[in-house]
């Protein structure tokens, strides 16, 4: 277990920059998620931590010691790949014991450790099988066991759940979290799925274009997104982002004019979460364009004074028909204002 | 007005004669398969018949002219058996029935053949295996310059050539293929294209320079010299094949092995190489057979009769006694073809995967 630090880390390929600049500190035993769209540099960062790639600039430190030049094989990092990367020519037991072959460990002791870890991830009945004889979920567990058997300083999970079906994903989410707590191993999860990130990790790092956009808890990211990117990436269904213009303490969005409290001027973007909009007689006129029942709630799209917005209402059945005229209001304290040019959040909101 | 209305009685027209359609589909399937089988039998005839004839001659021919009587008798027994089995195979999908038919036909054919031609079979043509003086015996003087060597010397030379060439090609092609597949280096594209050009280039055109080079470095008329020449000419193709196999091995497995504590070399040996096992077998078999059947280069570069390989032995045997004793020529041919045939039979499962490449998860 270790405290991990990345200082000004940068990775450049010939002709392209994968990671612009990463500054991050991860506490010993913490579980953090790196969340971002594909191509944002999250897997590159992961492979730099594992020692497969070496950073072009900056420093990676384990427990305060620089490890930039330490080879992958000496870093004692466990990694679970999206494809699981099991060795097809070996049995499950040999797969799990593979990392121990390179350490000075007696075979008997190694096997005992492998069996112990196999019991922890609940695959002790499958040890004689070949990877090709296992289901996706089982392969996933083998990969996890193999990463954990060497008692790693750091556990890296690269999109570990994306190859599983929906119900298995739910189970493995809980399982990985349980195992991580039990072992207390510092863990970094890389994912593009916000549900995975928010349910499993203590803290989330949102990455975009090779940079960290924001770091915080799921609540921070959802309620106080620092940038437009974070606001739009976190939350499902996505936040409504409406272009507007602030002048003289007033904001104009399409046909609506609203009062602003706080400092803001010029072109801005107004963000309203779908659950913050509600049908209320005191609101602005709008017309339902689409009603999509999603099980527990209904997602509506409405065209009105604010433009096209999405909002949700609890309930299994749609209460408003398509084409129906309604009146939409919102909670002013739940609105977010962003500077259009820089994309940063402004310290201002709609006044009630 | 009413003429524009949809006919209300349209529904009954949709009723189809299902049994008739099923009969038609069955008939189509049977005729299709019969046609295919007939086609395959006919096109395989010109390939199979010469081999079969060669085997028949080697076991039946006596000194002097050649008689086709045994061949036609054997064909008269085997052809109906094959036809009967084909009909049964098409008529029934039952595996048990097919197997029973095949077995009973085999027994009947064996009994018939034993009765009809059994007494004409003999092993005398294979006496070259223990008697090196066949040619002298038949013609009192060999044209190949003095004593004819034992066939086992030629066999040993061929084996040495084929095995060493296979070993060289396996080692070089797997390492080079891996390197080209995994590493970016300056001139990689040019290197790949160069290899393709080399392969497309007819090696025969190089025969005079190669002969001279071998002469100058003192490797002319040695097995080692021919081995180096053949390996060099064949390598580009096999490097290319192995690169394809390595391309199909995912990076993740290697990265995983390296984070698990393996060096790059250990990762290659313990994790990557087992994934391309099929490729290694295929390349090995082809390299072996290629060297076993080699004729032009060995004909040019091996001179002494103690350096003969099997193809040269066969050439000199037929050169000396063709027209005198076809039986011995046929027997030498059978003996020559046997090793590559056996290798092919045992490894054909892997060879068919060669073009596909890839790994199973």
As a whole number, mean pLDDT of residues A129-135 equals 92
As a whole number, mean pLDDT of residues A71-77 equals 92
Cα-based distances in Å from A314 to A297, A298, A332, B283: 4, 6, 20, 65
- The residues near A317 (Cβ < 8 Å, ≥ 6 apart) are A293, A298
Looking at residue A250, its pLDDT comes to: 87
Does residue B312 share a domain with residue B180?
A: yes
C-alpha B299: how far from chain center: 22
**Under DSSP, is residue A201 helix (H, G, I), strand (E, B) or coil?**
coil
pLDDT in tens, B122-162: 888 888 888 777 766 666 554 545 567 888 999 999 999 99
Whether B187 has a pLDDT exceeding 70, the answer reads yes
Q: Which of A75, A88, A150 sits opposite B359 (nearest CB)?
A: A88
pLDDT in tens, A285-336: 999 999 999 999 999 999 988 889 999 999 888 899 999 999 999 888 888 9
Does residue B182 share a domain with residue B307?
A: yes
The answer to whether residue A328 neighbours chain B at the CB level (below 8 Å) is: no
Band of residue B323 on the pLDDT scale cut at 50, 70, 90: low
The answer to whether residue B271 neighbours chain A at the CB level (below 8 Å) is: yes
Number of neighbouring beta carbons within 10 Å of residue B288: 24
Would the CB atoms of B260 and A99 count as touching at under 8 Å? yes
Band of residue B356 on the pLDDT scale cut at 50, 70, 90: very low
Structure tokens that stand for B230 in this block: 């053949």
Of residues A177 and B349, more confidence is placed in: A177
Does residue B304 share a domain with residue B238?
A: yes
Looking at residue B11, its pLDDT comes to: 52
Would the CB atoms of A73 and B258 count as touching at under 8 Å? yes
Q: Which residues of B touch A131 (CB under 8 A)?
A: 361
Does residue B294 share a domain with residue B224?
A: yes
Cα-based distances in Å from B329 to A70, B62, B73, B326: 67, 12, 22, 5
Whether B268 has a pLDDT exceeding 80, the answer reads yes
What chain B residue is nearest to A131 in terms of C-alpha separation? B361
Looking at residue A351, its pLDDT comes to: 81
Dist. CA A98–CA A95, nearest whole Å: 5
Band of residue B171 on the pLDDT scale cut at 50, 70, 90: very high
Looking at residue B213, its pLDDT comes to: 94
Cα of B178 to nearest chain A Cα, Å: 18
CA dihedral A106, A108, A111, A115 (to 10 degrees): -130
Does residue B244 share a domain with residue B343?
A: yes
As a whole number, mean pLDDT of residues B307-332 equals 84
Q: Which residues of A touch B274 (CB under 8 A)?
A: 87-89
Looking at residue B94, its pLDDT comes to: 86
As a whole number, mean pLDDT of residues B258-284 equals 92
As a whole number, mean pLDDT of residues B226-253 equals 91
Cα of A96 to nearest chain B Cα, Å: 10
The proportion of chain B whose per-residue pLDDT surpasses 70, expressed as a percent, equals: 88
Dist. CA B326–CA B275, nearest whole Å: 48
Band of residue A134 on the pLDDT scale cut at 50, 70, 90: very high
Does residue B306 share a domain with residue B161?
A: yes
Strands (E) located in chain B: none
ipTM (interface pTM): 0.85
Looking at residue A349, its pLDDT comes to: 82
Its domain, for residue B49, covers: 19-122
Does residue B112 share a domain with residue B203?
A: no
Looking at residue B142, its pLDDT comes to: 47
For chain B, the domain total comes to: 2
Average pLDDT, chain B: 85
Structure tokens that stand for A267 in this block: 């072109």
Domain A4-230 adopts which CATH fold? Rossmann fold (3.40.50)
**Under DSSP, is residue A282 helix (H, G, I), strand (E, B) or coil?**
strand
Looking at residue B358, its pLDDT comes to: 42
Looking at residue A224, what DSSP letter applies? S
Please answer whether residues A272 and A239 qualify as being in contact, where contact means their C-beta atoms are separated by less than 8 angstroms.
Answer: yes
Choose the CATH number for A237-350 among 1.10.3720.10, 3.40.50.970, 2.40.50.140, 2.40.30.10: 2.40.50.140
Does residue B222 share a domain with residue B330?
A: yes
Does residue B107 share a domain with residue B207?
A: no
As a whole number, mean pLDDT of residues A32-50 equals 93
Dist. CA A317–CA A297, nearest whole Å: 8
Cα of B251 to nearest chain A Cα, Å: 9
As a whole number, mean pLDDT of residues B230-251 equals 91
pLDDT in tens, A183-210: 999 999 999 999 999 999 999 999 999 9
The answer to whether residue B186 neighbours chain A at the CB level (below 8 Å) is: no
Q: Where are the domains of chain A?
A: 4-230, 237-350
Number of neighbouring beta carbons within 10 Å of residue B104: 13
By the 10 Å C-beta count (0-12 exposed, 13-18 middle, 19+ buried), A78 is classed as buried
CATH number of the domain that residue B309 is part of? 1.10.3720.10
Does residue B181 share a domain with residue B117?
A: no
Please answer whether residues B111 and B150 qualify as being in contact, where contact means their C-beta atoms are separated by less than 8 angstroms.
Answer: no
From B232, B245, B231, select the one nearest B277 (Cα to Cα): B245
Whether A172 has a pLDDT exceeding 70, the answer reads yes
Residue B54 is assigned to a structural domain of this protein: yes
Does residue B320 share a domain with residue B239?
A: yes
Would the CB atoms of A88 and B260 count as touching at under 8 Å? no
Residue B8 is assigned to a structural domain of this protein: no
Whether B168 has a pLDDT exceeding 90, the answer reads yes
Looking at residue B3, its pLDDT comes to: 46
Looking at residue B196, its pLDDT comes to: 84
Would the CB atoms of A83 and B250 count as touching at under 8 Å? yes
């Amino acid at each position: 277990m270790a405290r991990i630090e990345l200082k000004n880390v940068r990775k450049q390929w010939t002709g392209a920059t994968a990671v612009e600049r990463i500054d991050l500190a991860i506490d010993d035993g913490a579980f953090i998620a790196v969340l971002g769209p594909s191509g944002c540099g999250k897997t590159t960062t992961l492979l730099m931590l594992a020692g497969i790639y070496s950073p072009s600039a900056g420093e990676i430190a384990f427990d305060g010691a620089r490890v930039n030049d330490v080879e992958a094989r000496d870093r004692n990092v466990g990694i679970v790949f999206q494809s699981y990367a099991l060795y097809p020519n070996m049995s499950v037991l040999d797969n799990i014991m593979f990392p121990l072959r390179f350490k000075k460990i007696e075979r008997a002791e190694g096997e005992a450790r492998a069996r112990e870890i196999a019991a922890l991830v609940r695959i002790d009945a499958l040890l004689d099988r070949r990877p090709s004889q296992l289901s996706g979920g089982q392969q996933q567990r083998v990969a996890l066991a193999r990463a954990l058997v060497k008692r790693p300083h750091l556990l890296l999970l690269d999109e570990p759940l994306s190859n599983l079906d929906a119900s298995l994903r739910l189970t493995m989410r809980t399982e990985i979290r349980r195992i991580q707590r039990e072992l207390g191993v510092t863990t970094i999860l890389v994912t593009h799925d916000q549900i995975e990130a928010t349910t499993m990790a203590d803290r989330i790092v949102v990455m975009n274009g090779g940079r960290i956009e924001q770091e915080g808890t799921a609540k921070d990211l959802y309620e106080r997104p620092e940038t437009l990117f974070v606001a739009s990436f976190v939350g499902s269904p996505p936040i409504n982002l409406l272009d507007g213009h602030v002048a003289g303490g007033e904001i104009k969005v399409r046909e609506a004019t609203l009062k602003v409290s706080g400092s803001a001027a010029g072109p801005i973007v107004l963000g309203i979460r779908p659950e913050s909009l509600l049908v209320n007689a005191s609101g602005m006129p709008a017309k339902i364009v689409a009603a999509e029942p999603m099980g527990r709630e209904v997602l509506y799209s409405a065209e009105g004074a604010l433009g096209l917005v999405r909002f949700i209402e609890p309930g299994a059945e749609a209460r408003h028909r398509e084409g129906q005229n309604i009146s939409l209001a919102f909670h002013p304290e739940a609105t977010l204002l962003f500077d259009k040019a820089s994309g940063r959040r402004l310290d201002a909101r709609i006044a009630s | 007005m009413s003429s524009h209305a949809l006919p209300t009685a349209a529904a009954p027209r949709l009723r189809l004669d299902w049994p008739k359609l099923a009969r038609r589909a069955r008939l189509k399937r049977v005729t299709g398969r019969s046609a295919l089988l007939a086609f395959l039998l006919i096109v395989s005839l010109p390939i199979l018949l010469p081999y079969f004839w060669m085997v028949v001659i080697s076991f039946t021919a006596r000194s002097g002219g050649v008689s086709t009587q045994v061949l036609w008798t054997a064909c008269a027994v085997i052809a109906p058996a094959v036809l009967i089995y084909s009909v049964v195979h098409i008529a029934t999908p039952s595996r048990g029935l097919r197997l029973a038919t095949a077995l009973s036909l085999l027994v009947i054919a064996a009994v018939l053949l034993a009765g009809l031609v059994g007494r004409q079979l003999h092993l005398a043509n294979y006496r070259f295996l223990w008697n090196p003086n066949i040619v002298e015996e038949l013609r009192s003087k060999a044209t190949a310059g003095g004593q004819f060597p034992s066939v086992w010397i030629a066999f040993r030379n061929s084996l040495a050539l084929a095995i060493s060439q296979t070993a060289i090609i396996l080692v070089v092609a797997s390492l080079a293929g891996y390197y080209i597949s995994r590493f970016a280096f300056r001139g990689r594209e040019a290197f790949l294209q160069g290899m393709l050009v080399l392969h497309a280039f007819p090696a025969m055109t190089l025969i005079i320079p190669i002969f001279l080079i071998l002469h100058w470095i003192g490797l002319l008329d040695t097995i080692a010299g021919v081995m180096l020449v053949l390996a060099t000419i064949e390598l580009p193709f096999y490097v290319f094949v192995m690169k394809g196999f390595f391309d199909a091995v995912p990076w993740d497995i290697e990265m995983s092995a390296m984070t698990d504590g393996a060096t790059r070399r250990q990762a290659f040996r313990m994790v990557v190489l087992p994934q391309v096992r099929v490729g290694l077998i295929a390349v090995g078999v082809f390299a072996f057979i290629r060297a076993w059947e080699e004729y032009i280069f060995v004909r040019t570069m091996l001179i002494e009769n103690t350096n003969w390989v099997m193809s040269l032995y066969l050439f000199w045997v037929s050169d000396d006694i063709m027209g005198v004793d076809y039986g011995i020529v046929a027997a030498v041919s059978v003996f020559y073809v046997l090793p590559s045939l056996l290798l092919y039979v045992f490894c054909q499962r892997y060879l068919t995967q060669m073009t596909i490449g890839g790994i199973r998860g």
